Amino acid sequence: MAAAVSHDDHTSDLTAVESMLRAARGGDRTGSVRAITLNLIVHAPDTERIEVAIEALEHVGPSHPLRAIVATPGDGDLRASVASSCWVGASDRQVCSERVLVEAHAKALPSAVTSLLVPDLPVFLWWQGPFTHEEGLAGGLSALASRLIVDSGECGLEGVLAARLLAPSVADLVWSGLHPWRDAVAGLFDGPSEVRALQRIRAVDVRGPENEARLMAGWLRSALAADIDLNREGRQHHLERVTMRAGGKEYLVERKTRGRLGTATVPGLLDYPVVLAPPPRPSLLADELSRLAGDRLFERALDAA
């Protein structure tokens, strides 16, 4: 799939942004119809995170044509730059996304962003960095969004809890990345006899990072409506193993190498391979942009974590 950035321009006048974007799409001469499905506000407090955001947007764009407003708090005058990216897929189909980088004082950013939102379309806020609901910018941008996406790897689970106070729906990219593991763990108990064994699970051993381990335990507690102890070990960057025991038998999902695959072990059956590697972070973001409603499973797991 080929991407082509068609235009890149700068301005300090936000009222000029729409005409600049129109020019970036080829102007009125082409008769092109804009088909955008959502607004995405990205909090990018520094250059590094701006680059991360732009890279992610290039990945997300083909599946979610959107207007991204990358908001950077600064001390200087308001500045904006616009760009439009188009991707050509099979049968020469083309989708286009728009990107506006806007830098302004934190107090001015929410109003600047408001003026740039495409009407009627849903608004997502991807907040990069630590999160506290006491911060004015977080409150101002969250008020514009119907879904707030954070990363508990950056803001901690406490930051996610704080985010819940500000937006009707919150997503955590760490939770999203846990999906292959949750699917594999659930798969351990797909057989009738294993379903019965679930009732006897009282502890889970997790080898991996703290947030992932807490969310895994929270998910099991809420799904099974049971008190389940968490025993965590290791300081790994990635989950390596989840183990549960019932009736003297051990149920295990383990990733032994850094490849995509791991192994699931169910007592009495042949071990079988499972896909455990989470999709890359931009894919996780794209997945969250597909959902507008809250994730009840996540909320319950977070409460129980």
Partner 1 sequence: MATTAKRPAPNPLRSGLRVGGASEPTVFVIYGASGDLSQRKLLPAIYNLAVRGLLPSRFAVIGYARADMDNESFREFARAAVEKFSRTPVDDHLWPAFAETLHYQSGTFDEEAFKVLGERLEAIDAAHGTGGNRVYYLSTPASFFPVIVQAMGATRLNKPPGFARVVIEKPFGHDLDSAHELADVVHRPFRENQIYRIDHYLGKETVQNIFAFRFANAIFEPVWNNTHVDHVQITVGESIGVEHRAAFYEETGVVRDIVQNHLLQVFALVAMEPPAAFDADPIRDEKAKLLRATKPMTIENAVRGQYGEGYVAGEKVAGYLDEPNVPPDSNTPTYIAAKLEIANWRWAGTPFYIRAGKRLAKRVTEVAVQFKRPPHLPFPTDAVEQLEPNALVLRIQPDEGISLRFGAKAPTPTLALRTVNMDFLYGSSFLAEVPEAYETLILDAMRGDGTLFTRQDSVERSWEIVDPLLDQWRKGTPQVYTGGSWGPDLADELLARDGRRWRRP
Q: Interface with partner 1 by CB under 8 A: which residues?
A: 1, 33, 35, 37, 62-63, 65, 87, 89-91, 93-96, 179-180, 182-192, 194-196, 198, 220, 223-224, 259-261, 264, 266, 268-270, 272-275, 287, 296-297
Count CB atoms within 10 A of the CB of residue 119: 5
Nearer to partner 1, 28 or 190 (CB): 190
Which residue is it, tokens 């764009």? 61
Least Å from the CB of residue 120 to partner 1: 15
Least Å from the CB of residue 160 to partner 1: 18
Kindly tell me the burial class for residue 28, based on how many C-beta atoms sit within 10 Å of its own C-beta (0-12, 13-18, 19 or more): exposed
Least Å from the CB of residue 293 to partner 1: 12
Q: How far is residue 299 from each of residues 138, 187, 207, measured CA to CA in Å?
A: 20, 22, 23
Q: CA-to-CA distance for 81 and 21, rounded, in angstroms?
A: 10
Least Å from the CB of residue 233 to partner 1: 22
Backbone phi, psi, residue 281, to 5°: -55, -45
Least Å from the CB of residue 288 to partner 1: 10
Nearer to partner 1, 16 or 198 (CB): 198
Nearer to partner 1, 76 or 268 (CB): 268
Q: CA-to-CA distance for 160 and 137, rounded, in angstroms?
A: 16
| All residues at 6 or more sequence positions from 28 whose CB lies less than 8 Å from its CB, including other chains | 22
Nearer to partner 1, 46 or 229 (CB): 229
Nearer to partner 1, 65 or 110 (CB): 65
Q: CA-to-CA distance for 200 and 194, rounded, in angstroms?
A: 10
Amino acid symbol at 133? H
